[in-house]
Structure 1
Amino acid sequence: GVSRMSSRELSDIVQTQIVEDIRRDYEPEWTRRGLWDKPYSEVRRPDVTSMLLELLSHQNLADMKYNIDPRFRFSVSRSVYKGILKYLAFTGNRQYAVQPLPVKGFAITPAGGKKIRLSWQPVTEAGEPTSSPDRFMIYSRQGDNGFDNGLVVRDTIFEMELPAYDTIYSFKVTAVNNGGESFDSEELSVGINSRSKGNVLVVNGFDRVSGPSWTDNGISGISWWDDRGVPYRNDIITIGDQYDFDRMNPWLDDDSPGWGASYSDLTGKVVPGNTFNFPYIHGRSIMAAGYSFSSVSDEHFESTVDCADGSGIIDIIFGEEKSTPFFRDTSRIDFRIYTPQFMDMITKVTGEGRSVFMSGAYVGSDLLSGKDPTALKFAESTLHFIPRTGHAVRTGKVYATDYARPHFEGSFSFNAGFSPSVYTVEAPDAIEPSGKGAVCSFRYSENNSSAGIAFRGGYNNVITGFPFESIPDEKDRDKLMKQILEFLNKK
């Protein structure tokens, strides 16, 4: 075996790494607790270096705000990994390299004919200079097939020719160094129609992952009715919605567990979240309507002046994106929709006569929560809608209005409850038309509030208060996308 002091050294290094990272990224006053040398059998009996880590308490509401958030769980897991890595390097007297973080600013842009250009930006972790990547892996797939084994490249730009027309190709990128390979980037897709009616640029603005919203003012717990949060890809962290919010209610037995008690209808079920592949879902319907498409991240869209060149229509995915306060530092807002860069870019492309389709559950309520007069004016005068309310309905049935005929017709449903295939839209928005040329194009069947608007002028807009990709029926998605693109393409 090895000296028990090796376990003490491992514990110290891992704890130091965790505390330093949390203090830097989340909570500057995070408490560092003492190390215990106790005869727990799990770490006493093995003749190898070992440790037990207890970080958070599931009985502590403040702790759970961190624990249920996928961003915090990723950060702490990475801290544990880095601590173990540094311990092994220290005891082995050798150099180490930290696994890179995922790339950002991913984009697929047309380069003429069947040629495309992939580009991205590397990320180096603060305080970890060895995490810089020195190469990248590009993974690709055709249609619904699985991804290939990847291609190693050294540069952050890669050009290639697609094998065929009338086929969707999807790509993702990872960063690599001697420490390993990063998590995947978002998945972007491209398809070139041999008889294309036009080009659509799909902008993936849905990159939010977060925990649910909380309440601790009279009632205490997860306010799931307001925001269930967005899991990273998918999660199994809940068994059901909380129903006991009274801190004074004690645990009596398992049938009466008191404060924090929840239903059990989600036990054993995987909850879908942000799978980062929604450009592919949109792209399938775009191709079915006879158009070509390429896709870019919102970071690329907002920072690249000529990003939309060659595309007459912009399809912006906002899913469950919305302004999210950063844990205890409520002055920091992540995942804001209406950034100055976004508004400037939309003003530019609409000024050039390009049309916009924008869908998301919080496209209206994000304006109300932010109370930014510039953003409100932008929505009213450029996107031609005004926000009315969040939590518009609890069911997902939508129908086209008479105002929108003959461009839109029929009815469909989006996912407002649990589904194993797509995230829940728990709080869709009601938005109303603004200005001459704008009409209410869709209404929610539940209460007839306005679910979307259509605008026709020097450019055309379609904005919906529910995410397009949350429509589970592919035939409904294809029919709706075709109607939207035909409306947007007519001047």
Structure 2
Amino acid sequence: MCWQEDGRKPLLVVNGFDRLAGPARTAGESFSGFVPLLDEGVAEGYALNYTGAQIDFDPASPFLSNDAPGHGASRADEETHLICGNTFDFVYVHGRSLAAAGRAFVSVSDEAVMAGRVDLNQYPLVDLILGEEKETGWPKAVMDSLRGKRYVAFPEELQRAVTRYLADGGNLFVSGAYIGSDLCRGKKAGHADLDFCHNVLRCRWDAGHAAARGRVESVDSLFLPLHSTWQFAQAGSDSLYGVEAPDALSAYGGSRTVLRYEENQFSAAVAYKDRCGVLVCGFPFETMYPAFQRDQFMQAVLRLLAP
């Protein structure tokens, strides 16, 4: 907890990014291997075993030598590099920016919120970290039917807690790469997840893999200076995990687009402020860089939602 000397209530940071997963993979008779273009996966801490993108997908390709290793061979250009994964310390990143803006904060897990151990109404703003959280199957498909899939971005219990909080006049800042896609992909009209996305978060999911250059542009001068640009990591490094598949999220239910991906003008973030407030970003806040831009961005969030 970080205390506030001026008497203002502390803000709440909720860590909802727990996911650990391998990259997307495909298995066919003549084409088999990892497909990071679809999903690079999330390493625990740092990816120490990543050697580079796979280049040989033919299961019949034999090992001949270290120069021609056959099926599964990679470019081997990442053998000496550390790639950041889920370091489970993103509350610290968000908290530093809140503290830089002069605001105190408390942090909890999303499990604590879903278990009813936290009264969200005690906090004027909830900063929900979703990172690269998304529904993920077990390594063996049989476990999906036995235990259910893991890492859903917005489980039903969390949806209910957020819905109640906003109905009571709360303010929510939520950022993550799969907020819309996890709620909306493959869902038919009338599904509860679609209703939550549209009528509570007040956004519509348009596309996944919405950008490749990691730059967003302000299109709302009430939020950030018009046409100012902001960066987030799409290629992983030893300090930031890469966001290979940010969401395009457009305005719905009275909200407005405040950021667009610079390269294609897809909507990257939407905001709503009336009796309650919501800001939804289709990329994770903690992947923004450099640090001073994260701080400036958080100041804009606070001006919008918790002045």
Say if 1:196 and 1:290, in contact at 8 Å, map to a contact too. Answer: no
Q: What are the Cα deviations for residues 84-109 of structure 1, in whole angstroms up to 9, with x where unaligned?
A: xxxxxxxxxxxxxxxxxxxxxxxxxx
Say if 1:196 and 1:292, in contact at 8 Å, map to a contact too. Answer: no
Q: Counterpart of 1:239 in structure 2: which amino acid?
A: T
2:297 and 2:157 map into 1 onto residues whose CA distance is 29
1:260 and 1:420 map into 2 onto residues whose CA distance is 24
Q: How does 1:154-173 map to 2 (within 5 A)?
A: none
2:89 and 2:212 map into 1 onto residues whose CA distance is 26
2:125 and 2:305 map into 1 onto residues whose CA distance is 7
Q: Counterpart of 1:382 in structure 2: which amino acid?
A: V
Per the TM alignment, residue 321 of structure 1 is displaced from its structure 2 partner at its CA by: 0.6
Secondary structure at 1:316's aligned position in 2? strand
The one of 158, 163, 166 equivalent to 1:342 is 158
1:228 corresponds to 2:40: yes
2:7 and 2:296 map into 1 onto residues whose CA distance is 17
Q: How does 1:54-453 map to 2 (within 5 A)?
A: 190-195=1-6, 198-217=9-28, 219-304=31-116, 306-327=118-139, 328-329=141-142, 330-331=144-145, 332-369=148-185, 371=187, 373-401=191-219, 404-409=220-225, 410-436=228-254, 438-453=255-270
Q: Counterpart of 2:2 in structure 1: which amino acid?
A: G
Determine the structure 2 residue equivalent to 1:479: 296
Q: What are the Cα deviations for residues 117-146 of structure 1, in whole angstroms up to 9, with x where unaligned?
A: xxxxxxxxxxxxxxxxxxxxxxxxxxxxxx
> TM-score, structure 1 length as denominator?
0.59
Secondary structure at 2:223's aligned position in 1? coil
Secondary structure at 2:253's aligned position in 1? coil
Q: Counterpart of 2:183 in structure 1: which amino acid?
A: L
Secondary structure at 1:334's aligned position in 2? coil
1:458 corresponds to 2:269: no
Say if 2:121 and 2:170, in contact at 8 Å, map to a contact too. Answer: no
Secondary structure at 1:412's aligned position in 2? strand
Secondary structure at 2:183's aligned position in 1? helix
Q: Counterpart of 2:240 in structure 1: which amino acid?
A: V
Say if 2:43 and 2:84, in contact at 8 Å, map to a contact too. Answer: yes
Secondary structure at 1:274's aligned position in 2? coil
Q: Counterpart of 2:198 in structure 1: which amino acid?
A: E
Determine the structure 2 residue equivalent to 1:99: none
Per the TM alignment, residue 305 of structure 1 is displaced from its structure 2 partner at its CA by: 5.9
Per the TM alignment, residue 198 of structure 1 is displaced from its structure 2 partner at its CA by: 4.5
Say if 1:360 and 1:466, in contact at 8 Å, map to a contact too. Answer: yes
2:168 and 2:110 map into 1 onto residues whose CA distance is 19
Runs of 5+ unmatched residues, structure 2: none
Secondary structure at 1:343's aligned position in 2? helix
Determine the structure 2 residue equivalent to 1:100: none
Per the TM alignment, residue 251 of structure 1 is displaced from its structure 2 partner at its CA by: 3.0
Aligned residues between the structures? 298
Q: Counterpart of 1:334 in structure 2: which amino acid?
A: R
Secondary structure at 1:393's aligned position in 2? coil
Q: What are the Cα deviations for residues 63-93 of structure 1, in whole angstroms up to 9, with x where unaligned?
A: xxxxxxxxxxxxxxxxxxxxxxxxxxxxxxx
> TM-score, structure 2 length as denominator?
0.92
Say if 2:82 and 2:237, in contact at 8 Å, map to a contact too. Answer: no
Runs of 5+ unmatched residues, structure 1: 1-189
Determine the structure 2 residue equivalent to 1:34: none
Say if 1:197 and 1:290, in contact at 8 Å, map to a contact too. Answer: no
Q: Pick closer, same or farther for the CA change 1:475–1:294 going to 2, 3 Å.
A: same
Q: What are the Cα deviations for residues 39-59 of structure 1, in whole angstroms up to 9, with x where unaligned?
A: xxxxxxxxxxxxxxxxxxxxx
Secondary structure at 1:388's aligned position in 2? strand
Say if 2:184 and 2:193, in contact at 8 Å, map to a contact too. Answer: no
The one of the two structures with greater contact order (alpha-carbon pairs below 8 A, sep at least 6) is: 2
Q: Pick closer, same or farther for the CA change 1:241–1:196 going to 2, 3 Å.
A: farther
Q: Pick closer, same or farther for the CA change 1:196–1:482 going to 2, 3 Å.
A: farther
Secondary structure at 1:244's aligned position in 2? coil
Q: Counterpart of 1:199 in structure 2: which amino acid?
A: P
Q: Pick closer, same or farther for the CA change 1:447–1:303 going to 2, 3 Å.
A: same
